[in-house]
Structure 1
Amino acid sequence: MSIVIMVVGSRGDIQPYVALGKRLKQDGHRIRIATHDAFRQFVIDEGLEFFDIGGNPVDLMSYMVRNPGMIPGMVTLTNGDLKKKKAMLKESCYAPSRGTKGPFVVDAIISNPPGFAHVHCAEALGIPLQMSFSRISRCPTTAFPHPLVNITNSDANTGLTNYLTYYMADLLTWKGLGSHINKLRKRVLNLEALDVRTGPSILEDLKIPWTYCMSPALVPSPEDWQNHIDVVGFYFLNLATKYEPSSDLVAFLNAGDTPIYIGFGSIVVDNPHALTKLIFEATANAGVRALVSAGWGGLGGIDIPPHIFILESVPHDWLFDNERVSAVVHHGGAGTTAIGLAKGRPTVVVPFFGDQRFWGTMVHRTGAGPKPIPHKKLTIAKLSDAIKYALSATAKEAAQKNSIEKGVQSFYKHLPLLNMRCDLCPSRLAVWWSTKHCLKLSTLAAQTLEKAGLVEMRELELHRT
């Protein structure tokens, strides 16, 4: 099959889907990653096709830090990229990739929720869609509320309140994006418009299959989720085997006690110098050495004390392995949280926006770290105390196993294979439908029958799965 994976977000959002794409490619599928141009070389270096959908993830992260209550997806509307993304997400299903030969005609779509065109492109093309997310649930449940909806008072019981928060989030998103989605459906995809009754809950109403690549140890699958929703664990991309550390980094690691790691990944902070100074003083107070990742926030830039080493880009699966660091402090991104726990690293979460606080809370519940410290409330004393807790024996918890294989099987499980197979050549995908013969036909079968004078191509219709 030719599969397009639509992903909108930061490096931490893209990386799990690259891992998934590589595994699907091993099964003989053609994989295209449709995402931001900033990740072009990363995707190509991993042996997958790339398609640019526009948008600057650095601007996205900066905006989200300044507006932490904004629902992801609404940012697309406010930053002016929506018109371009609408066209590019559609074109990712059929347009040739730069640097590749031959046409691309998609047979199935995998997408994360912010790639909002997913279900509409799948409907227009009549192909299967698999939703996948490395962050917390977008599927309604009574077990916990939507991570971006904060209800302080409710007359309903807790379960019902939790359930309704998902519809509140969908309604708010539809209020901002609904008119633009309908323009995409009517003007670009030739589909009927949706309204407030059908638009917000379209994924739930159609029972589109979901695969959550998050740790079931942190977030067990709720009992009220039906069998079209799977929780399989995080998808890890093995980058450690290709990495060679610099001599300066090796020297620092060998020069004293095991350091901790501090980094906020793709987060763009307003005052990197102030945050850098706070980190330096907190680690000195805690009596620890630290590897501090510069990240997109630009940490560093001031005099570096001897107990600090400023990192550039280092694969977490290498850095967090083999006891190279004793604990990790980060923003609570799903990917960083997962790899830290998978390597058995106690974790301190300093959330900035979105579901990061949720992950910090889940880490704390397992005992693998202290309560999350929102970045606006971060002080030298609080960070120092949190580091000391993370280094305690209580915080050293076991973590999850790699679960990418379960993600691949989840994708296969939800494919409508009976409706996708050619009736005459079951090993091939059906492309055409013959009303006269009531047959689903692959391209090869249709051409063979036409040459034999048994069908006429003009009588065939495109088959919709």
Structure 2
Amino acid sequence: MKIVIFTIGTQGDARPFVALGRRLCTLGHDIYIVTSARHRQLIVDGGLHLIPIESDFADLMAKEHAAMDAGNQLRIGRQMARALCDWMPLWVKQALAATEGAALIIGSGSATALGASIAEKRNIPFVQAQFMPMTPSKHIPPLWPNPNLPLPGTANLILTHLARLLIWQLLSAPVSIMRRDLNLAPIGWRGPWSRKSEHIRSQYLLYAFSRHLQPHPDDWPSDRIAVTGSWFYDQTAEWVPPPALTQFLEAGPKPIYIGFGSMMCGNPETFTRMILETVRQTGRRAIIATGWGALRILREQKDTSLFFIDNAPHDWLFPRVAMAVHHGGAGTVAAASRVGLPQVIIPFLADQFYWSWRLNTIGITPMILNRKKLTAKKLAHAINKASAPSVTERARMLAPLIEDEEGIGRAITILTHWGLLPSPIPTEHAI
């Protein structure tokens, strides 16, 4: 069957779906991923079909790095909503073309509403796949404004519903344009979770994170919501490290990893100096992934205790380092937890604050850090605390639990149980 996956964002948003898509291909399904052309190589190398869609969140985030640096989530949301309004008419045309003949649509993140509406238009099933908890629960604090505040369960529920309502006020304009162009009924001011939006409220939802990081709360329904475990796209077998990286790793004790993916900040020079001073204060060796984000100017440094890379597959690199210092993106959290690394998180936006809180709660991130108030001394202190035996042992014990979840297989089993994928033919009857 033809399955179309909508994922619009950075490479971290696309990688899990390449992993899921590859496994679905082995079951005979035809997988198309609708995303930015920026991810072409990733998807083609994974043996899947790419359908480019007009978007570049990397460029959008680069333009809004000042708002990100100030922690202005509302400004970032407004800018994203304006960009979505500009993109939406073309998205509708591209999405309709991409889903011709599809039997199932999967959508995530910013593409959730698009995928859901296209599925409604075509009268085919839709499944959300998310990498952070979004369903209200008395056991989970709201992702916004601050998950670190201890609140009673009722307050968690109320604030999460209010946060949803706020998000809907930001996104209602582009969604209205999309549904108008699809000739679908508009969604009311309460948003897609209201009782009048039953076609959206009743969707299936896969949470692709580990239950050992965030268990399935008892107040989430289990008939349409499932926590599957993470979807890892492993490239260890085919990725060839540069010789200089191998030499650096072999030249001394395991280094720490420092990287912030695609996160930007308003003053990268100041942020860079803080990172360098932190490493000097700890006396550790470090591998620094500069990417195109906050650390992009670091390569000018000549310190032999530092090694700079654009990027490297986490499944190859993380077993070779002692700790991960990062932004708290769901993919990086999962990859570091999978190999038992203690983590120091410097969150920039959105769910990164939640994962910082959650990993601190379970004991593999020793401190909750505020990036706007962070100094080299505070960060060095956090790194030293993360090196404590109690933290490293807790992280080490978590690794086999996450590995044994086999999140992709569980996701496919659940989709089959929900009747969205055909049941596999038993081996003895395959011929």
- TM-score, normalised to structure 2, is 0.87
Using a 3 Å threshold, how does the CA distance of structure 1 residues 380 and 153 change in structure 2: closer, same or farther? closer
Q: How does 1:30-41 map to 2 (within 5 A)?
A: 30-41=30-41
Aligned residues of 1:332 and 1:356 also touching (Cα < 8 A): yes
Change (3 A) 1:299 1:233: farther
Q: Which residue of 2 aligns with 1:87?
A: 90
> Contact 1:351 / 1:375 at 8 angstroms: preserved in 2?
yes
Q: Is the 8 A contact 2:258 2:289 kept in 1?
A: yes
Decide which moves more: 109-118 or 62-71. Answer: 62-71
Shift of 1:8: 1.7
CA 1:71–1:36: 2 relative to 1, 3 Å: farther
User: Which is helix-richer, 1 or 2?
Assistant: 2
- Report 1:11-410 matches (<5 A): 11-62=11-62, 63=64, 65-66=68-69, 68-70=72-74, 74-78=78-82, 80-95=83-98, 104-115=100-111, 116-134=113-131, 136-150=132-146, 158-186=152-180, 188-197=181-190, 199-201=192-194, 202=197, 206-227=201-222, 228-297=224-293, 298-321=296-319, 324-396=320-392, 397=395, 398=397, 399=399, 400-401=402-403, 402-410=406-414
Q: Runs in 1 of length 4+ with deviation above 6 angstroms?
A: 151-154
CA contact (8 A) 1:128 1:416 kept: yes
- Deviation string, structure 1 residues 142-171 (Cα, Å, up to 9, x no partner): 1113202449999xx822221122322232
Q: Distance in 2 between matches of 1:58 and 1:279?
A: 23
Asked if 1 retains the 8 angstrom alpha-carbon contact of 2:133 and 2:207, the reply is yes
Q: CA deviation at 1:42?
A: 1.4
Q: Which amino acid aligns with 1:306?
A: T
SS of 1:43's partner is helix
Q: Distance in 1 between matches of 2:415 and 2:75?
A: 27
| 2:230/2:408 contact within 8 Å kept | yes
Q: CA deviation at 1:266?
A: 1.1
Segments of structure 2 that go 5 or more residues without pairing to the other structure are: 426-431
Q: 1:332 Cα deviation (Å)?
A: 0.3
Name the amino acid aligned to 2:321. V
The separation in 1 between residues aligned to 2:205 and 2:78, in whole angstroms, is 21
1:401-435 deviations in whole A, cap 9, x for unaligned? Answer: 14211122222222357xx99xxxxx9xxxxxxxx
Letter in 2 for 1:384: A
Give CA-to-partner distance per residue, 1:57-89, whole Å, 9 cap, x none.
Answer: 2233333624542398654322x3433234325
Could you tell me whether the CA contact under 8 Å between 2:209 and 2:334 is conserved in 1?
yes
Pairwise CA distance, 1:197 = 4.2
Read off the aligned partner of 1:172 and give its amino acid letter: L
**Against the structure 1 CA distance between its residues 180 and 286, is the aligned structure 2 distance closer, same or farther, given a 3 Å change threshold?**
closer
Gap change, CA 1:30 and 1:289, over 3 Å in 2: same
Aligned residue pairs, count: 406
Question: What are the Cα deviations for residues 438-462 of structure 1, in whole angstroms up to 9, with x where unaligned?
Answer: xxxxxxxxxxxxxxxxxxxxxxxxx
Mean Cα displacement is larger for which, 44-53 or 191-200?
Answer: 191-200
Shift of the 122–378 alpha-carbon distance from structure 1 to 2, 3 Å rule, reads same
Unpaired runs of 5+ residues, structure 1, are 97-103, 422-426, 428-465
SS in 2 for 1:217: coil
Cα 1:367/1:170, change in 2 over 3 Å: closer
Alpha carbons 1:275, 1:299 under 8 Å: kept:
no
- Quickly say closer, same or farther: Cα 1:68–1:213, change in 2 above 3 A: farther
Counterpart of 1:3 in structure 2 is: 3
Deviation string for 1:301-324 (max 9, x for gaps)? 433212111112211100012xx1
Shift in CA distance, 47/416, structure 1 to aligned 2, threshold 3 Å: closer
- Higher mean C-alpha displacement, 62-71 vs 346-355: 62-71
Structure 1 residues 89 and 316: alpha-carbon distance in aligned structure 2, compared to 1, 3 A threshold = farther
Amino acid across the alignment from 1:225:
W
- 3-state SS of paired residue (1:47): coil
Deviation at 1:239, TM superposition (A): 1.0
Aligned to 2:135, what secondary structure does the other structure show? coil
Contact 2:210–2:229 under 8 Å retained in 1: yes
Is the contact made by 1:3 and 1:108 (CA closer than 8 Å) also made in structure 2? yes
Coordinate RMSD, CA, aligned: 2.6
Closer/same/farther in 2, CA of residues 151 and 90 from structure 1, 3 Å limit: same
TM-score, structure 1 normalization: 0.81
DSSP 3-state at the match of 2:226: strand
Cα drift, residue 208 of structure 1:
0.7
Percent pairwise identity: 32
CA contact (8 A) 1:69 1:148 kept: no
Query: What SS class does the counterpart of residue 237 from structure 2 fall into?
Result: helix
1:4 Cα deviation (Å)?
Answer: 0.8
